[in-house]
Amino acid sequence: MSSSNTSTAEIDILVYTKIMFTRCWSFLLICLGIIGHALSIYVFTRPKFRSNPCTHYFLASTICGAFITCVNTPLRLLQTGYNIDLFGYSIVTCKLLTFVLYWSKALASWFIALASIDRFLCSSRSASLRAWSNIRVASWTIPIMTIMIGFTYIYVLILYQLKAGHLRCPANQGSFAFFQGIWNLVVFSLGPPCIMFCFGSLTIHNIRQAGKRVIPRNNQINDQTKQPQLQLQNQKKTDRQLIQMMIVQCVYFSITSSLISINYIYMSVRPSLVLDALQVAKDDLFAQMVGTISITGACTSFYLFTLSSQLFRDELMKLFEYLQRPFKRLSENETGFVRNNLTH
């Protein structure tokens, strides 16, 4: 009897931990995400960034992150934190909401992967490869990637069904559960990080090779006109800053998405045994924690941009200085008014 009471108490603690973790983490992501994405959209639409194709991929990822912050995170919060499941109202909401959430979550990381490819092309020694790094290519690559990722999750609209006795919207059980785990592992957890690291490493290699080639040409550059040289230096500075931002984002997305990969692998290879209530509660807690952490990268990308790029911080400071102007003028007017009263 005491063993049963102990197990029940442990289950209650695990359930309570899951609920409180979801509530606290979700509210934190919503607050940080709304503020951060609004500022990121402002910075990426500035003239200094707007002319760079890599910025378009960052902007697309930011917009996806804003959607995840304002839609995915609240739905997860309601479902797990407050036991309000909007997925289970009808078969339409079950299929459509699940499809949109999977789609948007994967898109944010794939846009960062596209940014890593763009930085590789931009830093390449080959002129033909560098030519592919332009705004026109970015303008059609982004919608194509959006459609492609949507097609990878089209199975959700076909196979997901509501089942009696389930509070959530589960897919068909059996072999499909294994397929879903492997598919999400490839499309979301492993695919984008592998591309990020691959092209990120190639970009670093290109930068090092370019640095070695630039050294003996310094004397020739000094004889050129100053204005084109200054423009070239500014462009290279922007490119270096974007490469830094891309590398940091690659590492961050890889870390936050790797935990859910571990969970998918564990659930797929574990022998199908009859689990007791305590083990089910442990699995549910771990799945909920890694699922919430997996969207952290998309919700908090602004803070990585700020930490990794001086250029990004400079644009933010310009915004803050602009917002402070009315207060400075008001303060100056009040100071002048006080001085006039004292002189009279």
pLDDT in tens, 204-223: 888 877 766 544 545 454 55
* Residue 334 within any structural domain of the chain: no
Are residues 53 and 118 in contact, defined by beta-carbon separation less than 8 angstroms? yes
DSSP-assigned letters across all residues of 256-271: HHHHHHHHHHHHHHS-
What pLDDT score does 217 carry? 47
Name residue, tokens 């359930």. Answer: 15
Are residues 109 and 187 in contact, defined by beta-carbon separation less than 8 angstroms? no
Pairwise CA distance, residues 337 & 334, whole Å: 5
Phi-psi region of 207 (alpha: psi -120 to 50; beta: other; left: phi over 0): alpha
What pLDDT score does 163 carry? 67
| For range 266-288, the mean pLDDT | 80
Residue 194: CB atoms within 10 A of its CB come to 13
* Residue 323 within any structural domain of the chain: no
Residue type, 27: F
3-class DSSP state of 93: helix
**pLDDT exceeds cutoff 70 at 166:** no
- Give me the percent of the chain exceeding a pLDDT of 90: 32
Domain of residue 125, CATH code: 1.20.1070.10
| Total of domains in the chain | 1
What pLDDT score does 170 carry? 64
Task: Write down the H helix ranges in the chain.
Answer: 2-44, 47-50, 53-67, 73-76, 91-123, 127-130, 135-152, 155-159, 175-184, 191-214, 218-222, 226-269, 277-294, 296-299, 301-308, 310-343
Pairwise CA distance, residues 14 & 279, whole Å: 10
Pairwise CA distance, residues 180 & 177, whole Å: 5
What pLDDT score does 73 carry? 95
What pLDDT score does 65 carry? 95
**Which of the two residues, 197 and 234, has the higher pLDDT score?**
197
**Which of the two residues, 221 and 319, has the higher pLDDT score?**
319
Distances (CA, A) of 299 to 8, 267, 306: 35, 26, 14
3-class DSSP state of 168: coil
What pLDDT score does 23 carry? 95
3-state per-residue secondary structure call for 224-258? CCHHHHHHHHHHHHHHHHHHHHHHHHHHHHHHHHH
**48-76 pLDDT per residue, tens:** 888 889 999 999 999 999 999 999 999 98
| For range 279-289, the mean pLDDT | 88
* Residue 48 within any structural domain of the chain: yes
If pLDDT is split at 50, 70 and 90, which confidence band does 1 have? Answer: very low
Segment among 4-13, 14-23, 328-337 with least mean pLDDT: 328-337
Are residues 197 and 254 in contact, defined by beta-carbon separation less than 8 angstroms? yes
Nearest Cα to 305, choosing from 56, 62, 45? 62
What pLDDT score does 108 carry? 92
| For range 150-162, the mean pLDDT | 87
Tokens at 231, concatenated: 């423009």
* Residue 268 within any structural domain of the chain: yes
* Residue 160 within any structural domain of the chain: yes
Gap between the terminal Cα atoms of the chain: 89
| For range 18-43, the mean pLDDT | 95
- Give me the percent of the chain exceeding a pLDDT of 70: 80
What pLDDT score does 24 carry? 95
**Which of the two residues, 311 and 144, has the higher pLDDT score?**
144
What pLDDT score does 333 carry? 60
3-class DSSP state of 1: coil
Name residue, tokens 């492609």. Answer: 148
**Which of the two residues, 202 and 1, has the higher pLDDT score?**
202
If pLDDT is split at 50, 70 and 90, which confidence band does 15 have? Answer: very high
Average pLDDT score over the chain: 82
Paired with 171 in beta bridges are 160
Nearest Cα to 79, choosing from 330, 328, 298, 287? 287
* Residue 98 within any structural domain of the chain: yes
By residue range, what is the domain housing residue 59? 2-308
Paired with 160 in beta bridges are 171
What pLDDT score does 225 carry? 56
Pairwise CA distance, residues 154 & 192, whole Å: 19
What pLDDT score does 329 carry? 64
Nearest Cα to 191, choosing from 145, 122, 160? 145
What pLDDT score does 275 carry? 73
Pairwise CA distance, residues 251 & 248, whole Å: 5
What pLDDT score does 242 carry? 80
**Which of the two residues, 228 and 132, has the higher pLDDT score?**
132
> CB neighbours of 83 closer than 8 A, spacing ≥ 6?
167
If pLDDT is split at 50, 70 and 90, which confidence band does 256 have? Answer: confident
* Residue 19 within any structural domain of the chain: yes
Phi and psi torsions of 160, nearest 5°? -75, 135
* Residue 340 within any structural domain of the chain: no
Segment among 31-45, 59-73, 121-135, 141-155 with least mean pLDDT: 121-135
**pLDDT exceeds cutoff 80 at 83:** yes
